[in-house]
């Protein structure tokens, strides 16, 4: 036991020393930054929208910075593992990450201490509002009809699209609460993501999926799914025919998933000053705009402190919903 | 006919063919490296496809994934390290053949039946895509629950030795599958406050540890003999194919049928297809006792299944944009990017593009034969290496593989821990395969059970309310109770 104790302490000391050395080295070379490859951590798996967004940003940023960007997936724990890996990386600018909306959710659930304040905000790259999607042959012609059905028989309809307490769960729970209904008036069926949720919608397993429009797009195009409304103050550019909740139900409700690039807290100012303009060029490039619009993803930009404020506000409003619906610890 | 001619014009161009060739080499390389899966090969290709034309972009993904699934069999056979999870079902079987000196026969069979399985999957994709997709879309939580339960039942057929030890191994696997946050209630379980464990036990790291590290440990305890394993030279493996086809066609057909059916279900995929095909072929075999001792039947069935699943996984992806597995999930993104939006309209408005994809599927599986042959030839020197040189190399490979699967040093520790676990399990005659099956299916059984319960307010009859679910459920219960019923009948007959 003693042996492992000493060993651990030695390791710790070595770790601290190593950290100090790399920090010093980082500070010394921030002038020539970047002079070696950069790692971009993605907290979600290969194959999802977050992964493909990270990979297009990575390949365009590579051209801007002249250094390879290695996109690595650190998955698991509903995003906790990857978000922690970004925050705990050396703040030398050679490890950055793609943070997602979940950073403002998981700490309310008591899963981690980590919040958006633990990062250096660089740039918000994307925002997709939630929407209400039902089967094409569903009984409800529009959102008011659906709301009536929920009011008539609370607790009978089911919805899916994320795990318990995930972003789309909050979207529908918060929406119901805005309507003055119990957040549980639509029962939540956990799934691994929007795609399995939609599969379940098609199979007749659930009644609605409150995911973003781009996620449901193929099925909407195939005439299998109808999107009744978008939970945003303005309609989606790619789907102008889908009304907002304000328009059809008189409830203003803004909620959605966002993705942005962050660095660990305490990166040198020179690094942020180099990365933010490079990311802005990426954001404004025709390749990025083209990629996002073809996938149906929305673009939204904020950089540096403005992005920090955006994350803090998202954190507060999500926390409020989670407390309201009883998901916060 | 015009559309087909147009499609051929899109495919048979120098730039497209060169892209396919490069993607093949890339897929073989990634698939042969333990820890890097076919999914990872796809993810690495994504940024490159941004800058390609649609047909070469999709073609590169088709060929790379097919090659990667086959290439996973090479380290699986030679080193007992499954190159991709799709090879895990028959790793033990193939490695036993290497120990018997029949590595070349095993790899030749893998290559032949992978390529042929791929072609069958392609044929199903071409001929039945719209109809099959409709059936696949009817699968919801209760159906998946029974599928996964049937999969667990396979544990009784895949482990050699006593059934009790197989069940013990399965339970170890199921316990491992409960670790982490990714369960329906999103409650951390067995994480001991560790952030890394919130993500659960990395399946690939555990798999490499159980199979490969345990083998390294066993060699170490036996004093690391310096000799090599004497191998039967096959010469040209192509020559053995005719007899193989004639002898093993029933296993091949079983594998193809299972592969196509399981592959088309969203979320099931090639890994599960290989396990079920292996178990089915053992159940139907005239010589089930030979399984687990280095027997080609199981290898043929499972090797046929995983490659045919690859083609049919495209069915729901192309028709409804719903991914059949993680590979097609990435492909769907690329399709959107190039304006080939999945959906029925793709078949109506852009038939030449769809036909071009089909032609590439066929090409990829034909290309697999010469390229796979070359890969097998290149891997031959491994067999000539003395064990005491080879074992440290395997260890190094395993460390790299475990790290690469999720880029975490923590996983190297997971792999070593599972290596020790695997060593002690095998020393006590507990088979490894059921444990891996438990890790793979534990989450699927639990998720779909809880989901069905939530949806139906805890009514257990929900598992039999939908027609497909009822059929699968009754079949599962019959399989479970068959030994009991048969026993009772026999006793009654004896009494009468």
Query: What pLDDT digit, counting tens, does each position of A143-171 carry?
Result: 999 999 999 999 899 999 988 888 999 99
Is A215 an 8 Å CB contact of chain B?
A: no
The alpha-carbon gap from A155 to the nearest alpha carbon of chain B, in Å, equals 10
Residue B24: inside a domain, yes or no? Answer: yes
With cut-offs at 50, 70 and 90, classify the pLDDT of residue B432.
confident
pLDDT digits (tens, 9 = 90+) for A59-72: 999 999 999 998 88
pLDDT digits (tens, 9 = 90+) for A119-148: 999 999 999 999 999 999 999 999 999 999
Mutate which of A222, A326, A328, A329 to test chain B, going by most B C-beta atoms within 10 A? A222
Q: Residues 95-114, chain A: which have Cβ within 8 Å of B?
A: 109, 111-112
Give CA–CA dist A101/A313, Å, rounded. Answer: 11
The alpha-carbon gap from A72 to the nearest alpha carbon of chain B, in Å, equals 7
**CA-CA-CA-CA torsion sign (B369, B371, B374, B378):** negative
Does the pLDDT at position B313 exceed 50? Answer: yes
CB-nearest to B195 from A80, A196, A205 is A80
Are B322 and A202 a contacting pair at CB < 8 A? yes
At a CB cut-off of 8 Å and minimum separation 6, what does B164 contact? none
Are A77 and B345 a contacting pair at CB < 8 A? no
Does the pLDDT at position A16 exceed 70? Answer: no
Is A168 an 8 Å CB contact of chain B?
A: no
Residues paired with A20 in a beta bridge: none
| A55 in Cβ contact with B47 (< 8 Å) | yes
Q: Which of A168-172, A232-236, B468-472 has the lowest mean pLDDT?
A: A232-236
- The helix or strand, by DSSP H or E, that contains position B253, with its residue range, turns out to be helix B241-264
Q: What is the pLDDT of residue B147?
A: 85
Mean pLDDT of B433-442: 86
**CA-CA-CA-CA torsion sign (B413, B414, B417, B419):** negative
Does the pLDDT at position A176 exceed 80? Answer: yes
Q: Which of A21-35, A193-207, B93-107, B149-163 has the lowest mean pLDDT?
A: A21-35
- Alpha helices, H only, B89-240: 91-99, 103-136, 141-153, 155-158, 163-177, 195-198, 203-208, 214-221
For residue B322, list chain A residues with Cβ-Cβ distance below 8 A. Answer: 195, 198-199, 202, 218-219
- The helix or strand, by DSSP H or E, that contains position A99, with its residue range, turns out to be strand A95-100
pLDDT digits (tens, 9 = 90+) for B132-155: 788 877 888 898 899 888 888 877
Does the pLDDT at position A25 exceed 50? Answer: no
CB-nearest to B407 from A72, A80, A296 is A72
Residue B399: inside a domain, yes or no? Answer: no
Per DSSP, the residues of A25-57 read HHHHHGGG--SS-EEEEESS-TTSHHHHHHHHH
Does the pLDDT at position A179 exceed 60? Answer: yes
Are B181 and A80 a contacting pair at CB < 8 A? yes
Residue B353: inside a domain, yes or no? Answer: yes
Q: Which residue of A has its CA nearest to B325?
A: A47
**CA-CA-CA-CA torsion sign (B159, B165, B169, B175):** positive
For residue B182, list chain A residues with Cβ-Cβ distance below 8 A. Answer: 76-78, 163, 192
SS3 for B347-370 is: HHHCHHHHHHHHHHHHHHHHHHHH
Q: What is the pLDDT of residue B340?
A: 81
Are A52 and B329 a contacting pair at CB < 8 A? no
CA-based nearest residue to B268, from B136, B163, B390, B178: B136
Give CA–CA dist B309/B38, Å, rounded. Answer: 13
At a CB cut-off of 8 Å and minimum separation 6, what does B119 contact? B362, B365
Q: Which of A27-36, A77-86, A151-160 has the lowest mean pLDDT?
A: A27-36
Does the pLDDT at position B119 exceed 90? Answer: yes
**How many CB pairs lie under 8 A apart between chains A and B?**
176
Counting residues of chain A whose pLDDT is more than 90, the rounded percentage is 57
Which structural domain range is residue B277 located in? 2-136+204-393
For residue B447, list chain A residues with Cβ-Cβ distance below 8 A. Answer: 190, 192
Q: What is the pLDDT of residue B259?
A: 93
Residue B409: inside a domain, yes or no? Answer: no
pLDDT digits (tens, 9 = 90+) for B213-256: 998 998 888 875 656 666 766 666 667 788 888 889 999 999 99
With cut-offs at 50, 70 and 90, classify the pLDDT of residue A207.
very high
Enter the ipTM: 0.72
Residue B463: inside a domain, yes or no? Answer: no
Domain total in chain B: 1
Residue B442: inside a domain, yes or no? Answer: no
Average pLDDT, chain B: 86
* Domains of chain A as residue ranges with CATH: 36-129+256-324 (3.40.190.150), 136-249 (3.40.190.10)
Does the pLDDT at position B66 exceed 60? Answer: yes
Task: Count other Cβ atoms within 10 Å, centred on residue B483.
Answer: 11
pLDDT digits (tens, 9 = 90+) for B347-378: 777 788 888 999 999 999 999 999 999 998 88
Does the pLDDT at position B430 exceed 50? Answer: yes
Does the pLDDT at position A1 exceed 50? Answer: no
Residue B221: inside a domain, yes or no? Answer: yes
Q: Which residue of B has its CA nearest to A289?
A: B337
Are A217 and B341 a contacting pair at CB < 8 A? yes
Q: Residues 8-67, chain A: which have Cβ within 8 Å of B?
A: 41, 45-49, 51-52, 55-56, 58-59
To the question of pTM greater than 0.90 for the whole model, the response is no
Taking the CA atoms of residue B18, residue B23, residue B24 and residue B26 in that order, the dihedral angle to the nearest 10 degrees is 130
Mean pLDDT of A10-36: 54
Residue B454: inside a domain, yes or no? Answer: no
If 0-12 CB within 10 Å is exposed, 13-18 middle and 19+ buried, where does residue B171 land?
middle
């Amino acid at each position: 036991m003693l042996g492992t104790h000493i060993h651990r302490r030695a390791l710790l000391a070595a770790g601290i020393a190593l950290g100090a050395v790399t920090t010093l080295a980082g500070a010394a070379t921030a002038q020539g930054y970047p002079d070696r490859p950069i790692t971009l951590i993605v907290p979600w798996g290969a194959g999802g929208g977050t992964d493909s967004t990270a990979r297009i940003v990575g390949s365009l940023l590579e051209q801007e910075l002249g250094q390879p960007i290695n996109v690595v997936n650190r998955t698991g724990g509903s995003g906790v593992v990857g978000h922690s890996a970004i925050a705990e990386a050396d703040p030398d600018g050679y490890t950055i990450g793609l943070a997602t909306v979940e950073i403002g959710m998981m700490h309310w659930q008591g899963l981690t201490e980590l919040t958006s304040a633990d990062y250096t905000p660089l740039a918000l790259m994307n925002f997709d509002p939630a929407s209400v999607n039902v089967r094409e042959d569903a009984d409800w012609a529009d959102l008011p009809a659906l709301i009536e059905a929920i009011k008539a028989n609370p607790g009978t309809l089911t919805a899916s699209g994320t795990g318990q307490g995930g972003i789309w769960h909050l979207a529908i729970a918060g929406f119901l609460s805005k309507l003055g209904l119990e957040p549980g008036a639509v029962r939540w069926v956990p799934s691994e993501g929007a795609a399995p949720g939609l599969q379940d919608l098609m199979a007749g397993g659930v009644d609605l999926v409150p995911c973003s429009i781009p996620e449901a797009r193929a099925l909407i195009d195939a005439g299998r799914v109808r999107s009744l409304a978008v939970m945003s103050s303005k309609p989606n550019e790619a789907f102008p025919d889908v009304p907002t909740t304000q328009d059809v139900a008189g409830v203003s409700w803004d909620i959605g998933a966002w993705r942005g690039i962050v660095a660990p807290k305490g990166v040198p100012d020179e690094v942020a000053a180099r990365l933010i303009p490079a990311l802005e060029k990426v954001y404004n490039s025709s390749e990025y705009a083209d990629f996002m619009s073809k996938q149906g993803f929305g673009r939204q930009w904020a950089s540096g402190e403005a992005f920090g404020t955006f994350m803090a506000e998202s954190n507060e409003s999500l926390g409020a919903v989670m407390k309201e619906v009883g998901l916060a610890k | 006919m015009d559309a087909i001619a147009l499609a051929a014009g899109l495919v048979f161009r120098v730039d497209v063919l060169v892209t396919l060739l490069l993607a093949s080499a890339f897929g073989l390389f990634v698939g042969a490296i333990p820890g890097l899966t076919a999914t990872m090969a796809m993810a690495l290709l994504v940024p490159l496809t941004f800058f390609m034309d649609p047909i070469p972009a999709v073609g590169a993904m088709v060929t790379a994934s097919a090659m990667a699934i086959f290439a996973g069999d090479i380290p699986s056979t030679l080193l007992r390290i499954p190159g991709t999870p799709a090879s895990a079902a028959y790793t033990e079987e193939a490695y036993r053949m290497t120990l018997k000196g029949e590595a070349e026969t095993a790899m030749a069979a893998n290559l032949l039946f992978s390529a042929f399985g791929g072609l069958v999957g392609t044929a199903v994709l071409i001929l039945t895509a719209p109809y099959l997709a409709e059936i696949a879309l009817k699968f919801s939580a209760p159906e998946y629950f029974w599928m996964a339960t049937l999969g667990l039942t396979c544990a009784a057929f895949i482990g050699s030795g006593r059934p009790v030890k197989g069940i013990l191994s399965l339970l170890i696997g199921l316990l491992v599958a409960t670790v982490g946050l990714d369960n329906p209630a999103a409650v951390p379980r067995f994480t001991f406050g560790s952030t890394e464990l919130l993500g659960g036990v990395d399946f690939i790291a555990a798999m490499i540890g159980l199979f490969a590290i345990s083998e390294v440990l066993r060699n170490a305890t036996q004093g690391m003999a310096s000799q090599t394993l004497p191998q039967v030279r096959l010469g040209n493996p192509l020559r053995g194919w005719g007899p193989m086809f004639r002898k093993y066609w029933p296993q091949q057909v079983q594998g193809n049928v299972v592969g196509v059916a399981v592959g088309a279900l969203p979320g099931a995929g090639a890994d599960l297809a290989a396990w079920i095909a292996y178990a089915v072929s053992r159940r139907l075999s005239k010589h089930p006792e030979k399984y687990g001792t280095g027997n080609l039947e199981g290898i043929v069935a499972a090797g046929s299944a995983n490659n045919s699943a690859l083609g049919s996984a495209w069915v729901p992806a192309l028709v409804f944009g719903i991914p059949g597995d993680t590979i097609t999930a990435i492909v769907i993104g690329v399709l959107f990017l190039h304006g080939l939006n999945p959906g029925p309209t793709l078949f109506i408005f852009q038939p030449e593009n769809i036909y071009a994809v089909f032609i590439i599927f066929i090409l990829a599986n034909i290309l697999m034969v010469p390229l796979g042959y070359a890969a097998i030839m290149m891997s031959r020197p491994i067999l000539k290496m003395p064990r005491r040189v080879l074992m440290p190399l395997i260890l190094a490979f395993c460390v790299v593989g475990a790290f690469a699967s999720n880029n975490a040093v923590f996983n190297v520790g997971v792999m070593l821990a599972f290596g020790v676990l695997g060593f002690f399990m095998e020393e006590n005659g507990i088979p490894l395969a059921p444990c891996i099956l438990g890790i793979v299916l534990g989450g699927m059984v639990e998720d779909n059970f809880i989901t069905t319960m939530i949806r139906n307010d805890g009514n257990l009859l929900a598992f039999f309310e939908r027609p497909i679910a009822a059929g699968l459920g009754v079949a599962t219960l019959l399989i479970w109770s068959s030994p009991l019923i048969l026993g009772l009948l026999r006793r009654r007959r004896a009494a009468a």
